[in-house]
Each structure stands twice: as C-alpha cells, then as structure tokens.
Amino acid sequence: MPSKKDQRRVRTAIAIALFLACRVYPAHAEDVLLRWTPSSGAQGYRLYAGTKSRTYTVQQDLGLLAANTVGGVVYYLVTGPASGGRYFFAVTAYNNAGESDYSNEKQVTFAAAVSPFPTPTPTAAGTAPRGATPTRSPIGTSGAGSVRPLAITTGGADSSQLAVQYVRSPGSLRSVQLSARSVFMPVDGPQMRAALGAVEADGAADLIVWHAALTGQVRRGVVDRYRLSTDLEPEWQALAPKPTTDSGVPDDASLLVGDVDPSVAGTEVVAAGGGALGRRGKARVFGAGKDGALTLLGDFRALNGNAGTAPVHVTLGEVLGDARHAGLEIISGGARGRVQVQGVRAGKVVVRRSFRAFPDTPQASAHHLAAGNLLPTIAADEIAVGDDGTRGDGLVRVFDGSSRHPLLEFQAFPVGTVPFGIELWVGDVVSTVAGAELIVGQGAAGGTLRVFTLASGVPTALLDLPDPLHRPTSLWSHLAVGDVLPGVLGNEIVVAHSDPSGPLEVLNLNVASEPWWASLDGPGGTDPVTGVAVGP
C-alpha cells in the first residue's frame, strides 16, 4: 500500500498553471495550447473538460508526455469542437499512489469551425472550382497503372526492416477501404532510408535502399537498388536486387531520387547528409550503370564552410531555372541558417548559390526546408525554410533560390504553440488551386498538419488535415506526398505512425465538403516505423 508520504507527494507536487494561446483560422476551430510545470514523481497526466465549471464530462489520459516536455514545461495542444462553445479545462497528475487534485481551471470559448470548401456549383468540364467533385477516370483491377508502391521502414537497436506495400486504387473515393499486399526484406544494421523512383530511362519503378552496414570494424553507408517488376498481379511484384554500392554517407542520410544531372539518361539517386563531430556533410550522386548497378557520378560537400560540419538536411527542387541549370538542384540546409543550392552536370557542381535563412537569428539552423512551385507566377521553384525551434514562433520564410532574395514570410501557427519548431513538405495536393501547396507540421508540440496556398502571394490556410487516429507529434520522416491512387484526381498525402501496428493514413483533398481519408494496415512487428516513401 502506498505510504502517506507517497500519497502526499502526488497531491502536493503538482502546482499546474495553464496558459492558453488561442487563434481562429478560417478553416478550423481554435487551437488551445495547455502548458504546465512537470509534477515530480508523476507517472502521467489526465485532462478533464466540460461545459460547466468544475463539472467535467470528458476525461483523457495523456500519459507522461515526455516528448512534449522541454525546458521545464509540459505542452499539450487541444483542438476545439467543430460546433464551438464554452469549455472548462483542468489537469491532474497521477502515479501508483493515486491522483492529484485538479489544477487551476481555465475557461475557453471556441469559435465554430468553418468548412474550407465552398458549396459546389455547376461548371463546365475541366473548370471545377474549389470544392467541386472532380472527374475521375475508371480504374482497372489488374495490370500496370492500377497499383502504386509504398515503402515503410522500421528499425530497432540492431536491425532494420523494409515493408513494400502495393496499394490498389478503389477507383472511386466513395469507398474508404484500400487494399494492399506487403513484401518484407530484412536489412542488417540499425539505420535505413528508402526511396522510390525510376532510375533508368524506361521509366520502370525502382526501390532504392540506403542502410548502414559493417565491413570489418568500419560502418559504411550502402545503397541497394531493387527493380519492381510489372506482372499481371502487381501487388505481388518480385524484388529483383541489383549489386550494392558504398554510398560514403555513413550518418543519417537523406535518400532522394530525381533528375539532378541532365547529362545522364534517366534519373539519379542522391545520398546526402552526415555532418557533425567535425566531419563534413557529403552528397553523392549515382546513376544506372550498364549492368544495372548504381554507378557513382559525383561526390562533393553538401555545404561549404563550417556549417557543413554540423548535421545537414537535403531536398531537391528546380529553383535555378533552365537558363542556369537544366534539371533539379540539390538544396542543403545546415547550421546557422545556411542554405546552399548546387546544380550538377557530368558529375560536377557547375553552379552554386548560398544564403542565410535567418540572419536575424544566427543560432537557428535551416534543417527544416522544402522546395516546390509555391508561387506559380514565378518560373522556378521556391525554397521554404521553417523555424527549428530556436525562434519558437513557427515562422516560415520563402526564398527565390536563384536570386536568394526572401519573397515572403508568415507564422503557420500561433506564437507559443510551436516551441520545438515546425516541419515542412511541398506537394500539389489541391488540384483546383494553382501551384503546389505547403504542408506545415506542428512538430513535437502536436500532430496538427496545416495546408497553405501561397499562389496569390498571400499565405492562406486552406484547412487542417483530419486526425482521427491521433497521429504522432513529429512527422519529419513519416509523411510523403505522391500519386498513391492512380486514376484519382490529384496527389495523396500518406502519414505513417511510429507504432508499427498502427495504420497508414491516406488523404486526398480533391473532394467536395471535406478531405477524403482512408487507412492501410501498418507493417507490423515490434520495431518503430522510421519512415515512409511513395512511388512514382
């Protein structure tokens, strides 16, 4: 039986002060950030809510929220009900001895959510407005084009595993059921990245896998290539491995597939990253050799200067324009807000641009970056860089990659609701809006994903993605954008959960009234999911 001392501890150690940060967005109800001082000895917290003071009708066990505890403060984000109304909140702490008294109470009045989709109106074919039901092509039940591969990586302390799921499109978004088949491949070593793309000019899909392998006492980054066949039952496609290639990038690599070297037929594989501990971040570019193996085309620093010795994050984009460099550029973000754009030809860097994303906050990094056609009135792609948590204000800055000039900036979330930084992705997920959309994740402060359009030059929040499964708080490697459902208008967003037994979320935003949502079974097993990739 717990001692009286333990019983007193859980009731007196929790002096919880709740501070709320609220702001209304046009596409959703208010977000309320609860913040309190951690309770010594607590094993978890419970959130209570109700429409009358000190009369709580809703209770939620939050657990210890260790991932949401930073700088002596616990954070938890609550999204208000769509109907709006006044609510009262309180928090308790608990352990084996019992549960504490309620914290001080906070009252919040939520605004009713406003649908981001207008009422559909009849229009001529091909000119459907935002919210109109899109025209869909019929989908076959077998043969090429009816399925898309997804790659899900998992990893533990000593080994990793790769699950390749072949998703069959339902042909219509009226169904919320998707079917998939999985092929599993064990990989030695605790680290792994996967990418999907067409390396050779024939356009057939390839699975590219980077993993850490031990050669004697030396750990090396190894890139494997697997060609995906196209038989009549594509959900059971065989994996035909190609010879491995030492990537020379041994630490936490980014693995990307894109046409970065216009002098080479097909597309290339970019294995980049590393940095820290005095070693410079590197980028290596591979292409398909005559025997099908990946051949090293180029090897260079991901970032010049001292910023390259810190961790480096890499993406691809066509930011310089064909006049300066035909093809995609390699965009690297590192310490002190340093961003570098490099164009490659014949395996060598032929053009380079550098700038600092946050000169007003020198200690902030540029690790959180993405590129795409955010401003369609500008010919080339733009680079978006987000606050890594140093600023704590959720700031997004958008740059012209060629001139290196800032084009605009905005706060994706209210100040105080993103103390750990934000995450960024770019994808054309709303076909009735010009250009690509910017998807902003709330990082470790919450699982909210907010979709913005910048097409008019004014950042506009379109909607928050539905979260029926309470997705994990950090999604940096757990979200991918691509054409998962062939024949259905627009690209889809795929979100993986860290729990391997949890489902994969598939969302399509090109439907009337509200986003379309469905789920697929996760890879299973016991090791946490470390990433997801979408096929071409």
Residue range 328-351, pLDDT digits in tens: 999 999 888 999 999 999 999 998
Residues with Cβ within 8 Å of residue 114, at least 6 apart in sequence: 26, 27, 28
Measured over the CA atoms of residue 429, residue 528, residue 334 and residue 391, the dihedral's sign is positive
- pLDDT at residue number 356: 93
Instruction: Name the strand (E) or helix (H) holding 4.
Output: helix 4-12
Residues with Cβ within 8 Å of residue 286, at least 6 apart in sequence: 223, 245, 247, 268, 269, 270, 271, 294, 295, 296, 297
Give the residue ranges of the chain where pLDDT is below 70.
1-33, 67-68, 70-71, 77, 79, 82, 111-147, 156-159, 169-190, 213-219, 229-240, 249-252, 274-279, 305-310, 468-469, 512-514, 536
Q: Give the separation between CA 345 and CA 364, rounded to whole angstroms.
A: 32
Question: What architecture is domain 147-534?
Answer: 7 Propeller (2.130)
- pLDDT at residue number 108: 80
Residue 446 Cα to chain centre, angstroms: 13
- pLDDT at residue number 315: 94
SS (H, E, C) 480-491: EEECCCCCCCCC
**CB of 139 within 8 A of CB of 174?**
no
Residue 338 Cα to chain centre, angstroms: 21
- pLDDT at residue number 1: 46
Q: Give the separation between CA 413 and CA 439, rounded to whole angstroms.
A: 12
Q: Is 535 exposed, middle or buried (0-12, 13-18, 19+ CB in 10 A)?
A: buried
Both tokens of 14, joined, read 């929790």
Strands 179-188 and 159-168: antiparallel
- pLDDT at residue number 425: 95
**CB of 108 within 8 A of CB of 139?**
no
Closest CA to 531 of 264, 211, 292: 211
Torsion angle, alpha carbons of 335, 342, 533, 215, to 10: -80
- pLDDT at residue number 239: 64
Measured over the CA atoms of residue 240, residue 185, residue 145 and residue 234, the dihedral's sign is positive
How crowded is residue 322: how many other Cβ atoms within 10 Å of its Cβ?
11
Identify any residues that bridge with 155 across adjacent strands, giving them in sequence order: 160
Residue 138 Cα to chain centre, angstroms: 30
Question: What architecture is domain 4-110?
Answer: Sandwich (2.60)
Q: How many residues make up the chain in this entry?
A: 536
- pLDDT at residue number 138: 26
How crowded is residue 79: how many other Cβ atoms within 10 Å of its Cβ?
17
3-class DSSP assignment, residue 134: coil
Write the CA distances from 129 to 69, 117, 377, 414, 430, integer angstroms: 43, 10, 20, 30, 11
Domain ranges for the chain, please list them: 4-110, 147-534
